Structure 1
Amino acid sequence: MRIVRYAVGGACHYGELESDDVTIARFEGDPFTGLTPSGVLDEMGDVVLLSPVESPRIFGFAYNYASHVDETDRDVPDVPVCFMKPSTAVVGPGDAIVYPADGELIHFEGELVVVIGKKARHVKPAEAHEYILGYTCGNDVSDRIVQRKESRYGTLLIGKGQDTFAPLGPVIATELDPSALSLTTRVNGRVTQSASTADLMLPVPDLVSYLSRYLTLLPGDVIMTGTPAGVGPIRPGDEVEVEVEGIGVLRNPVVAEGR
């Protein structure tokens, strides 16, 4: 199932994107408490796709691809490197990534994103799939100048958490094996990242298990699994695409703050 969240007629709904990529079978309810077919069909041309999860808690893992560790000239971490983004960082497909007025070096980071489906605590890796609703695409937009300054003092918030710095979408794919999916990022049509989730140093089950060892994961939480080599700068006027096999393409323009 490919679940979409969308707006039509002044209301927000969840639906299933059908195989023609045009028709949406509308549901009543939400995927975290239960979905019921409504019998209503909507057309993609008549709706606005939204972030597939509304106001999620966002957990991120840094340096989870060896290729990205290499390009940053760091040692492989001996513990998982985690951070959080505020829910206000989330935008959906087609929404703008806002380039801050005082921004100097803003980077894209294409990622596979896990969507948690039910409350999870002390989950074993072999059981992780039972707590996962599905997967979507994400872009861990980062202000490198601020990030580096914060990191020197052991913090990380503004560098990762500014408004619009967490695009998600376009769908939640619920029947997907995350172990070896191709991931491609493009800026203005040029491929900048090309990798496989098989290269994750900590695969998805381990990420879910690790977080749930220390805190309770809740329905609607999302986990950004890390980015491979090839990250780079974006500027106003650019368009960034993150494509993950079996999910689709998350596409977002970059605009200057104040426009």
Structure 2
Amino acid sequence: MANWVRFESEGAVRIGVLGGDNIAIHDGDIFANAAPTGETLALGDVTLLTPCVPGKFIALWNNSKSAAEKQGLDEPEYPLFFLKPSTTYLAPGGVIRKPDDYDGRVIYEAELGIVIGKTVSNVDAAAAADAIFGFTCVNDVTAMQLLGTDPTFPQWARAKGFDTFGAFGPAIVTDTDVSECAIRAELNGRERQNYLVSDLFMPPVDIVAHLSRSMTLEPGDLIACGTGPGALPMRPGATIDIIIDGIGTLSNTYED
């Protein structure tokens, strides 16, 4: 198991493996033969960035059994997904901002993130499993009241695509079994979401295999697996923590 991070130190962007409060610095590419330099830095002396820069950020909807039951939705036959633009990407500690021209609710959504490590297209489950580099925490932020503003076309891309609406990190954790992990959201320290990865209709391997039949997946691509019950609005000044067993805690604040 390794906790890969990407960070800024003295004006340079670098990568490394986080262990406790120290980072073992590596050269190269996280996804292609990164090599240790022998140097270390204290976590408190760097600024964490998103752990990768995805070429694609794919996010699923209606992939939670308990959320579907609560909303009266049927199990989908295939992943229902949308794409979030790169301008949504937000690092740990960053501020989620409400859009200037939107006065409605902005909600958090705690999700497991899959990070792809190999280029794959139209693969089976075994190859899909091999393509998964690791996992991270995701907050798939949504301007909820925009979804239904046009009755002829649900506004998924707009509602999910504002700047800062795609927080993820703090690390990509490799070689770990997430099948029984709990995914939690704490709003101002109060638990609001708590569901298991096993609550997902489609587990990570199946998601990757299915999506590879729709598009080529490439190293660094991020897939958010969909959220469970309990996603609620945030108020200005709120702190939202996404916590996944064995993966870490993604902490951000929300402001107008």
In the superposition, the TM-score normalised over structure 2's length comes to: 0.95
Alpha-carbon deviation of 1:154? 4.6
Which sections of structure 2, spanning at least 5 residues, go unmatched? Answer: none
Alpha-carbon deviation of 1:153? 1.2
Confirm or deny: 8 A CA contact 2:138 2:166 kept in the other structure.
yes
The Cα offsets for residues 129-150 of structure 1, whole Å up to 9 and x where unpaired, read as 2111100000000011112235
Secondary structure in 1 matching 2:212: helix
Match of 2:230 in 1: 230
Match of 1:13 in 2: 14
CA distance in 2, matches of 1:169, 1:103: 28
Query: Greater shift after overlay, 86-95 or 177-186?
Result: 177-186
Alpha-carbon deviation of 1:92? 0.7
Confirm or deny: 8 A CA contact 1:110 1:185 kept in the other structure.
yes
Q: Which amino acid aligns with 1:56?
A: G
Alpha-carbon deviation of 1:179? 1.4
In the superposition, the TM-score normalised over structure 1's length comes to: 0.94
Calculate percent identity across the aligned residue pairs: 36
Confirm or deny: 8 A CA contact 2:92 2:169 kept in the other structure.
yes
CA distance in 1, matches of 2:29, 2:46: 17
Confirm or deny: 8 A CA contact 2:142 2:165 kept in the other structure.
yes
Change (3 A) 1:151 1:183: farther
Match of 2:198 in 1: 198
Alpha-carbon deviation of 1:70? 3.0
Confirm or deny: 8 A CA contact 2:147 2:154 kept in the other structure.
no
CA distance in 2, matches of 1:65, 1:32: 29
Which sections of structure 1, spanning at least 5 residues, go unmatched? Answer: none
Counting only pairs closer than 5 Å after superposition, residues 178-189 of structure 1 correspond to structure 2 as 178-189=178-189
Secondary structure in 1 matching 2:92: coil
CA distance in 2, matches of 1:42, 1:67: 42
Confirm or deny: 8 A CA contact 1:5 1:50 kept in the other structure.
yes
Match of 1:165 in 2: 165
CA distance in 1, matches of 2:154, 2:235: 28
Change (3 A) 1:26 1:62: same
Query: Greater shift after overlay, 98-107 or 73-82?
Result: 73-82
CA distance in 2, matches of 1:170, 1:162: 21
Match of 1:77 in 2: 76
Secondary structure in 2 matching 1:246: coil
CA distance in 1, matches of 2:220, 2:174: 13
CA distance in 1, matches of 2:152, 2:105: 17
The Cα offsets for residues 108-135 of structure 1, whole Å up to 9 and x where unpaired, read as 0000000000101111113322111100
Confirm or deny: 8 A CA contact 2:25 2:39 kept in the other structure.
yes
Confirm or deny: 8 A CA contact 1:147 1:159 kept in the other structure.
yes
Runs of 4+ in structure 1 off by over 4 angstroms are: none
Confirm or deny: 8 A CA contact 1:120 1:218 kept in the other structure.
yes
The Cα offsets for residues 153-191 of structure 1, whole Å up to 9 and x where unpaired, read as 155211011100010001100011121111111000000
CA distance in 2, matches of 1:116, 1:78: 23
Q: Which amino acid aligns with 1:132?
A: I
Number of aligned residue pairs: 254
What's the C-alpha RMSD, in Å, of the aligned pairs?
A: 1.4
Change (3 A) 1:48 1:227: same
CA distance in 2, matches of 1:44, 1:199: 34
